[in-house]
Structure 1
Amino acid sequence: MSTWSAVLMSLAALATSWASYQASLWSGEQSVRGASSAAYRAKSTRASARAGQLRMIDIGLFAHWMDAASHGDSTLARFLASRFRAEFKPAFDEWMASRPFTSPMAASTPFALPAYRVAEDTVAARLERSADEESAASQSANRISDTYVLDAVIMATVLFFAGAAQQGHVSRLRVAMLLIAFGACALGVVRLFGAPRA
């Protein structure tokens, strides 16, 4: 019985070391992915803020253009139109082609048209998706790390029961402890083999 206890204790010690090592690696992976997610989210926020600034420029220039056009100042209106951003110009041209001052079917502003896009919105959305993916990977790494910590606890249980099986005087109690140690060891080994490796 002492031989079986020693074998179980040796196996449990090795498995505990492996589980602790893997838990540490996955914890590191969690940290790296979490930091990456935060960096992507910060970049997304900056891109979104930049998109808002560009949109405000477009709205401001358009509002001044509307004011000039409604007051018949064609020189100022042409000057302002020449200052429109390249992203805004296609939507403005489409809007003007729809005869907005005479046609009730025309959009109320160029901003309501699908042609109006701010590229930074696309950049912000892409970065936000990357942040979400990294966050999900971080959470997954955390779950795997937790799995390995539980495996280490299971193997520590094996050490306890295998060690206790060597001590008692009542042979039935020693056999019961050894069987518990075997069962816990089998469970731990199966879990370790099934867990992803870093």
Structure 2
Amino acid sequence: MMDPQETSSTDTESAVTDFVALLLLSVTAVLTAWCGFQSSKWGGEMSIAFSEASSLRIQATSADSRARDARQYDLSIYIEWVLADGDRKLRNYIEDRFTPEFKVAFEAWNAGGRTQPGPLAHPKYSPSGAADAARLDHLADEKFQSALEKNQQGDNYTLLTVAFALVLFLTALSQRKQAQTVKKALLALAVVVAVISVVIMLTFPALI
């Protein structure tokens, strides 16, 4: 016959175990929902960043196309200037039709003793649209990188939902009919996994 004192002690231990299990289940359920929410938010931010990167890339391509057209125009004008060799009046007429970007390079080319193959090869030559293309390309790269980082944050929260699911699984196992020591071991393991997961979660940025 079991000692009443031992029975009381066993019942107390069981009640404490059940309370811890219930508390763990409740908290983990909330944390799992939070991680799912964060994963969804970061996924939305990732999609927006990818869309912005794509839009910037299209704008950069358009600017680069403008730069190519401007370069072609400047090249055509420069060829006419070269062909007008000896005709100062014609050369002056052509020079009046230089684009502002080409004029800067042309004057620098002249001032430097015409050491470069031509004004278009001068470092100061930057056709209209070239600077915009470079700037937009840089912004597109930044947005793309940001999208990848946001995707990783979403994946991190998704992995945490798996960890919290493991906590729920271990906690549920601890409630089955089995020896008290086994229950305690399963519950203790669930608590350890939960604590580690929470600590990791606190290191992640959150979106509201």
> TM-score, normalising length from structure 2?
0.85
1:82 Cα shift? 2.1
The alignment-based identity, stated in percent, is 31
Whole-angstrom CA distance in 2 between matches of 1:152 and 1:161: 14
Q: Across the two proteins, how many residue pairs are aligned to each other?
A: 191
Consecutive unaligned residues in structure 1, runs of 5 or more: 101-105
Aligned to 1:91: 105
State the Cα distance separating 1:79 from its structure 2 match.
2.9
Aligned-residue offset at 1:4: 1.1
**How far does residue 119 in structure 1 lie from its aligned partner after superposition?**
4.2
Q: Structure 2 counterpart of 1:136, which letter? A: Q
- Give the Å deviation of 1:73: 4.4
Q: Give the Cα–Cα distance (whole angstroms) in 1 for the partners of residues 160 and 110 of structure 2.
A: 68
Aligned-residue offset at 1:74: 4.3
Partner of 2:91: 77
2:187 maps to 1:187: no
With over 3 angstroms needed to count, the CA separation of the structure-2 counterparts of 1:6 and 1:99, relative to structure 1, is closer
Residue 85 of structure 1, CA deviation: 0.8
1:197 aligns with 2:168: no
Would you say the 8 A contact 2:70–2:128 is kept in 1? no
Match of 1:159 among 155, 163, 168: 168
Question: Post-superposition shift, 1:95?
Answer: 3.0
Deviation at 1:126, TM superposition (A): 1.0
1:22 paired residue number: 38
- 1:11-41, Cα deviation, whole Å (9 max, x unpaired): 1100000000111111111111111111111
Instruction: After superposition, give the CA deviation of every residue in 1:124-165 in whole Å (9 maximum; x if it has no partner).
Output: 111111111111111111111111111111111111111110
Aligned residue in 2 for 1:114 = 123
Coordinate RMSD, CA, aligned? 1.7
Report what 1:52 is aligned to.
68
C-alpha displacement of 1:67: 1.6
Deviation at 1:170, TM superposition (A): 2.4
In the alignment, what sits opposite 1:144? 153
| Larger RCO, structure (CA 8 Å, separation 6 or more) | 1
Task: Note the C-alpha offset of 1:117.
Answer: 2.0
How far apart, in 1, do the equivalents of 2:108 and 2:23 lie?
Answer: 80
- How far apart in 2 are the matches of 1:74 and 1:61? 15
Which runs of at least 4 in structure 1 moved beyond 6 Å after TM superposition?
A: none
Residue number among 53, 58, 65 corresponding to 1:37 in the alignment:
53
Structure of larger gyration radius: 2
Q: Give runs of aligned pairs for residues 117-128 of structure 1, distance below 5 A.
A: 117-128=126-137
Counterpart CA distance in 2 for 1:99 and 1:162 is: 83
